C-alpha cells in the first residue's frame, strides 16, 4: 500500500480567553495555533513551567486593553480589533525549540527563562515565541518550576530599584530602604535584591508574613495591621529609598518618610497610566498621564525628594544579572503554591484571593 508522512502538528494545548470577564472566561483548548517565528530575532520556547502575576488578573478583566491593543497594532493595519483568543501568563521557564536566522546566542535544547511582554501571546500554553533579547539562560541551580516564579517580578523590581531608582551594587550599601507591600512577588524579590546590594531594609507586610521576611534577611518588619502604620514609620530614622507596591493612600504620607535634599527617591508601581487610556482613549489618556506625573514630580522635587513611576520592562541582559545573583545564592524563589496545567482556573482563583506569600506557579509539563 501507499505510505505517507504523518501530518505536521499545527495546534497545541493552551488556556485562552475569548472575552474579558471573571474566571469563567478561561477556556482550555487543544486547537491553539502553534506559534511561528515571524522575525529573525525570535525563538520558540517549549514551556515547562509558567507563573501568574496580578497583571494576568487585570488582563483577564480587560484592564489596560486600550494601551495593549495599540502596542499590538500601532499602525492600525488590522481592519478589525480582535486580540482574541488571548493567552495569558507572562513568565516562562523552558527549552528552546527553534531559533530565527539572526539568533546566535541560543540554540535548540538550551534551558532558558523569560518574561513575555503583556502585548504578546502568553505562556499558559505548550509553546511560546519570544524575542531573543527578552530571553536569558535559566539559573543552573533552579528547576523549571522554581525559575518560572522569578522573571516578571524580578524584572519589575529591577526596573523600579535599578533603572528608575538608581540603586545598584556599588551605591546601595548602608542605604535605608522601605518596601511597602513586601510579601508579594515583587516585594519578596526587591527585598532580596537590595539586601544583596547591602541595604538596610524595612518591610511592611501582615503579621503572617513576618517569618518569611526575617528568612529573607529583612532588618525591620512592621505589621501594617498593628496600630497606625504612618505613625509607627515616623518613629524610625528617615529613608533613602521607598518602593511602594500598595499605592492608594500610602502615597499621601510615604514621601514624608524620605531624607530631604539628599537624593532620596520614592518609586511606585501603582500608576494610572493604563486606566487613563482605558477611560479617556489613547491621546487624552497619555496627556492626562503626562500632566499627572509631571506635576507630582515637580511638586515633590520642590520639597527635596524624587518622585518616580516604574513599570515592568522585558530584558534578557537584566535576567542575566538576576541569574548570577540566583546562582550565587543571594536571591531565592519564593513560591506560594504550584498547580498543574489542568488547574489553571484554580490558580487564578488562588491569586484572586490575595494574601499570597510569593508566587503562584503552573507546572505546564504536568497536564493531568
Q: What DSSP line would sit under 144-185, residue for residue?
A: HHHHTTSHHHHHHHHIIIIIIT---TTT-TT-EEEEESTTSH
The neighbour count for residue 297, using CB atoms within 10 Å, is: 14
Q: What is the mean pLDDT of the chain?
A: 94
Per residue in 203-251, pLDDT tens?
A: 999 999 999 999 999 999 999 988 899 999 999 999 999 999 999 999 9
**Burial class of residue 25 (count of CB atoms within 10 Å of its CB; 0-12, 13-18, 19+):** middle
CA distance 322 to 76: 36
Q: Identify whether the C-beta of residue 65 lies closer than 8 Å to the C-beta of residue 118.
A: no
What is the arrangement of strands in the sheet containing 26-33, beginning at the earlier edge strand? Answer: 26-33, 11-17, 86-87
Q: Identify whether the C-beta of residue 87 lies closer than 8 Å to the C-beta of residue 123.
A: yes
pTM (2 d.p.): 0.95
Per residue in 140-174, pLDDT tens?
A: 999 999 999 999 999 999 999 999 999 999 999 99
Question: What is the CATH number assigned to the segment(s) 11-151+333-363?
Answer: 3.90.180.10
| Annotated domain spans of the chain | 11-151+333-363, 165-309
Task: Tell me: pLDDT of 1 over 70.
Answer: no
At which residue does the C-alpha cell 527553534 appear?
A: 98
CA angle 196, 198, 204 (to 5 degrees): 80
Q: Identify whether the C-beta of residue 222 lies closer than 8 Å to the C-beta of residue 182.
A: no
Q: Identify whether the C-beta of residue 32 lies closer than 8 Å to the C-beta of residue 12.
A: yes
Quick one: angle between helices 282-301 and 273-280, nearest 10?
140
- pLDDT, mean of residues 102-110: 97
H runs (alpha helix) in 250-281: 250-254, 273-280
Task: Tell me: pLDDT of 4 over 80.
Answer: no
Q: Identify whether the C-beta of residue 253 lies closer than 8 Å to the C-beta of residue 232.
A: no
What does the pLDDT read at residue 279?
Answer: 92
Whether the bond between 150 and the residue before it is cis, its omega within 30 degrees of 0, is no
Chain-centre distance for alpha carbon 314? 9
At which residue does the C-alpha cell 489596560 appear?
A: 64
What does the pLDDT read at residue 185?
Answer: 94
Q: Identify whether the C-beta of residue 43 lies closer than 8 Å to the C-beta of residue 130.
A: yes
Nearest CA to 58 out of 17, 15, 103 is that of: 17
Q: Is the dihedral of CA 233, 237, 238, 239 positive or negative?
A: negative
Task: Tell me: pLDDT of 3 over 90.
Answer: no
Q: Identify whether the C-beta of residue 226 lies closer than 8 Å to the C-beta of residue 233.
A: no
Q: What percent of the chain has pLDDT over 70?
A: 96
Q: What DSSP line would sit under 192-226, residue for residue?
A: HHHHHTT-EEEEEE-GGGHHHHHHTT-SEEEETTS
> Count H helices, E strands: the chain?
12, 16
Q: What DSSP line would sit under 17-32, residue for residue?
A: ESS-SSGGGEEEEEEE
Strand-pair partners of 223 = 205
What DSSP designation does 259 have? P
C-alpha cell at 285: 489618556
What does the pLDDT read at residue 49?
Answer: 98
What does the pLDDT read at residue 81?
Answer: 60
- pLDDT, mean of residues 19-35: 96
C-alpha cell at 287: 496627556
Q: Identify whether the C-beta of residue 184 lies closer than 8 Å to the C-beta of residue 245.
A: yes
The class level of CATH for 165-309 reads alpha beta
What DSSP designation does 257 have? G
Amino acid at each position: 500500500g501507499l505510505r505517507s508522512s504523518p501530518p505536521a502538528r499545527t495546534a497545541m494545548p493552551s488556556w485562552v480567553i475569548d472575552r474579558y470577564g471573571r474566571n469563567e472566561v478561561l477556556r482550555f483548548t487543544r486547537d491553539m495555533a502553534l506559534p511561528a517565528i515571524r522575525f529573525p530575532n525570535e525563538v520558540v520556547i517549549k514551556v515547562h513551567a509558567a507563573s501568574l502575576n496580578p497583571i494576568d488578573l487585570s488582563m483577564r478583566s480587560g484592564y489596560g486593553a486600550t494601551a495593549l491593543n495599540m502596542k499590538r497594532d500601532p499602525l492600525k493595519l488590522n481592519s478589525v480589533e480582535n486580540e482574541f483568543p488571548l493567552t495569558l501568563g507572562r513568565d516562562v521557564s523552558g527549552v528552546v525549540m527553534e531559533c530565527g536566522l539572526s539568533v546566535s546566542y541560543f540554540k535548540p535544547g538550551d534551558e532558558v527563562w523569560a518574561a513575555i511582554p503583556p502585548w504578546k501571546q502568553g505562556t499558559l500554553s505548550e509553546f511560546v515565541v519570544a524575542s531573543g533579547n527578552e530571553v536569558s539562560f535559566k539559573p543552573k541551580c533552579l528547576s523549571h518550576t522554581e525559575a518560572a516564579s522569578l522573571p516578571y517580578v524580578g524584572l519589575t523590581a529591577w526596573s523600579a530599584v535599578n533603572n528608575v531608582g538608581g540603586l545598584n551594587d556599588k551605591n546601595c550599601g548602608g542605604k535605608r530602604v522601605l518596601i511597602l507591600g513586601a510579601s508579594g512577588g515583587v516585594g519578596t524579590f526587591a527585598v532580596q535584591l537590595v539586601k544583596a546590594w547591602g541595604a538596610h531594609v524595612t518591610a511592611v507586610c501582615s503579621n503572617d508574613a513576618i517569618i518569611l521576611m526575617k528568612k529573607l534577611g529583612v532588618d525591620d518588619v512592621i505589621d501594617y495591621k498593628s496600630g497606625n502604620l504612618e505613625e509607627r514609620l515616623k518613629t524610625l530614622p528617615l529613608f533613602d529609598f521607598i518602593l511602594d507596591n500598595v499605592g492608594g493612600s500610602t502615597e499621601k504620607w510615604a514621601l514624608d518618610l524620605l531624607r530631604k535634599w539628599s537624593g532620596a527617591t520614592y518609586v511606585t508601581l501603582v500608576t494610572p497610566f493604563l486606566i487613563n487610556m482605558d477611560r479617556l482613549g489613547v491621546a487624552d489618556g497619555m496627556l492626562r498621564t503626562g500632566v499627572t506625573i509631571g506635576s507630582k514630580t515637580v511638586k515633590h522635587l520642590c520639597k527635596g525628594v524624587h518622585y518616580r513611576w516604574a513599570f515592568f520592562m522585558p530584558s534578557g541582559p537584566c535576567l542575566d544579572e538576576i541569574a548570577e545573583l540566583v546562582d550565587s545564592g543571594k536571591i531565592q524563589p519564593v513560591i506560594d503554591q504550584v498547580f498543574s496545567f489542568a488547574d489553571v482556573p484554580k490558580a487564578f482563583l488562588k491569586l484572586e484571593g490575595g494574601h499570597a506569600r510569593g508566587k503562584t506557579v503552573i507546572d505546564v509539563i504536568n497536564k493531568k
